[in-house]
Amino acid sequence: MTHRKSRQPISESRIAGEKDFEFSFAFQPIVDAKAHEIISFEALVRGPGGEPSEDVFAQVAPGDLHRFDHLCRDKAIRLANSLKLNKRLNINLFPGAIYKTGMNIRATLQASLACGFPAENIIFEVTESEKFIDYHQLVANIKMYKDFGFQTAIDDFGSGFSGLKMLVEYQPRYIKLDRNLIADIHENQVRQTIFQGISMICDRLGIEIMAEGVETGEEYEWLAAHGINLFQGFYFAKPAFENLPEVDVALFRT
């Protein structure tokens, strides 16, 4: 987009002054279809006027990623608290940022304590679509998050490099099935077979599955009929900029 070219990458000095760093969040609900309720909201980075996350990321210089990640986490918690979110909050960890675990944990605890948002209601999502440099350090750091009371989820499960390998050494509270695995699953035998294998593994390991990117009633009904209770996607609600969207209970047809 042309407006990206007119903006210079945000330097660390700019990020250090939050007044000059323009970004916000949209929130998308995660629902428990069996209980007919919202259980969590995922915080999704947006521009100050609701612009796509790509527009925000394009402004961040590579060397400023850790600082940007810190500010995103802090703002997501504070904004969720100001919206009186009384559910869980899913926050994405940016690729590579998870290696600075000590800094991340301290910053998150400080943010949650400062505004009174319970740390135990925070779920960190770690994408598995990134080829991690130090896999063993990654697993050790994720376990440290768990030791501090945070819940964890593997995001985009099935789309990347490390999902099954991670499960050998670490079992998160949740995995989020990637949209590519569940698109038109009701009429795709290959996707159904892969899903059934993942479902069996997670059931035996005590891991809950979230189906992410559910867009149609047919996808939802097939997944619900095959044991999935937790859903996220346009079928239930699109992300709402600086707001907590409602979900129509009539959508729960199981």
Reported as a single tens digit per residue, the pLDDT across 45-63 is 999 999 999 999 888 887 7
Report the distance separating Cα 222 and Cα 191, nearest Å: 12
Nearest to 148 by CA among 118, 115, 116: 118
Instruction: Supply the range of the domain harboring residue 53.
Output: 2-246
Q: What pLDDT does residue 152 have? A: 87
Q: What pLDDT does residue 193 have? A: 95
DSSP 3-state helix, strand, coil percentages of the chain (rounded to 5)? 45, 20, 35
In this prediction the pTM is 0.86
| Residue 242 within a domain | yes
Report the distance separating Cα 39 and Cα 225, nearest Å: 20
Domain containing 42 — which CATH number? 3.20.20.450
| Residue 125 within a domain | yes
At 64-110, the pLDDT tens digits run: 877 888 889 899 999 999 999 999 999 987 756 665 666 667 778 88
Mean pLDDT of 121-147: 74
| Residue 224 within a domain | yes
CB atoms within 10 A of CB 83: 15
| Residue 61 within a domain | yes
Q: Angle between the 65-82 and 101-115 helix axes, to the nearest 10 degrees?
A: 20
| Residue 46 within a domain | yes
Q: What's the structural domain count of the chain?
A: 1
